[in-house]
Amino acid sequence: MSINEKFLKEFVKVTQQASIATLPKIGKKNKNEVDKLATDAMRKILNNIEMKGRVVIGEGEIDEAPMLYIGEILGKNIGQEFDIAVDPLEGTNFAANNSPGALSVIAVSHKDNLLHAPETYMSKIAYAAKIEKGVIDLDYNFSKNIKNLADFKNKKIEDMTICILNRPRHKEIIEEAEKLKIKTKLISDGDVSGALLVTDEKYKVDLFLGIGGGPEGVLAACALDAFDCGFQGRFIFDDETSIKRANEMGIFDLKKKYELKDIVKGDSIFCATGITNGELVKGVSMAGNYFDTDTFVTHKSKNIKKNIKEKVQKIT
């Protein structure tokens, strides 16, 4: 069953308004304040939509996050039922320091069609469409994956580019890439936007990989699925608390390798509006009585994959 196209405009409005709300605190060095502005605005707009929405990926548990917590019910409680994944402000440090790459993100699918991802790390790998099955696999080591991909694309290995979070945990991969003379795009935050760089050759990223947030993996998967890209992920459970939480969410195979079909089933909508300038979208800015917004949008069943640039007013 496809999601009615009218909802695309509604969910674009959600991330637009969340982005607009952050403007007073962008560059003010307080990531919690700017995140709260985005979260409050997102929640307000979501509650005005004629739907029965349920947050499956949010800002944490109910006792940790008073807004947009996992399990929160949103909307006017009429109409279609949706699972909703949100990151009101991906890249809180980017927004707090007015650095490139901050986004407001939402992904939506019908009820029970989105993986309920626990708040834990995930090993991930993402790559472009039309790569044959077996070329890339999360179980291969980095060298095998990059060499296989270079062979498949008929490219010299030194012409390949990877994108990876600049973290100590990725030291070995980064060093191996240097030995192979592979171009490395290091990002300090924002692994949703990092994963989406494989969707178009214009971004010049052949492979996204590494360990990042599990919820961010689900968000990225919705957009990657619309582009028919490849994605695999595996959660990392390293303490009893995270294992218990996973079991409560219905996850018992702790070593399961998730493919796109395991993460998002059926139709989905993905929206990411720029807060500060980035490669995917431009940041929000004032334009007289309006705001210039740029939103990266996918709607799988309608084959919509585009940027929506609009002048919009702030909803008060």
- Tell me the per-residue pLDDT of 248-283, one tens digit each, with 9 for 90 and over: 888 899 999 999 999 999 999 999 999 999 999 999
Q: Which fold has domain 6-112+267-312?
A: Fructose-1,6-Bisphosphatase; Chain A, domain 1 (3.30.540)
- pLDDT mean across residues, the chain: 94
Task: Residue 211: count other Cβ atoms within 10 Å of its Cβ.
Answer: 18
Query: DSSP code of 264?
Result: B
Distance CA 275, CA 59 (A): 18
3-state secondary structure of 58: coil
Residue 5 has pLDDT above 80, yes or no: yes
Helical spans, DSSP H, in 4-141: 6-21, 31-46, 92-96
> Can you give the pLDDT at residue 61?
62
Specify the CATH number for 121-259; select among 3.30.43.10, 3.20.20.70, 3.40.190.90, 3.90.550.10.
3.40.190.90
The count of C-alpha atoms lying within 13 angstroms of the C-alpha of 130, restricted to the half-sphere facing its C-beta, is 6
- Within the chain, which residue ranges are assigned CATH 3.40.190.90? 121-259
- Within the chain, which residue ranges are assigned CATH 3.30.540.10? 6-112+267-312
> Can you give the pLDDT at residue 246?
87
Distance CA 222, CA 225 (A): 5
Q: Find out whether 56 and 86 touch, Cβ atoms under 8 Å.
A: no
What is the rounded average pLDDT of the residues 115-139? 94
| CA dist list (Å): 17 to 189, 296, 306 | 22, 14, 19
> Can you give the pLDDT at residue 150?
98
Q: At what angle do helices 142-153 and 171-179 cross, to 10 degrees?
A: 40
**Residues contacting 228, CB < 8 A, separation 6+:** 129, 130
pLDDT tens digits along 56-91: 998 766 555 557 888 899 999 999 999 999 999 999
> Can you give the pLDDT at residue 74?
96
> Can you give the pLDDT at residue 64?
54
Distance CA 86, CA 78 (A): 20
> Can you give the pLDDT at residue 68?
86
What is the rounded average pLDDT of the residues 106-123? 93
> Can you give the pLDDT at residue 204?
96
Distance CA 313, CA 309 (A): 13
| CA torsion angle 7 9 12 13 (round to 10) | -110
pTM confidence score: 0.95
pLDDT tens digits along 285-302: 998 899 999 999 999 999
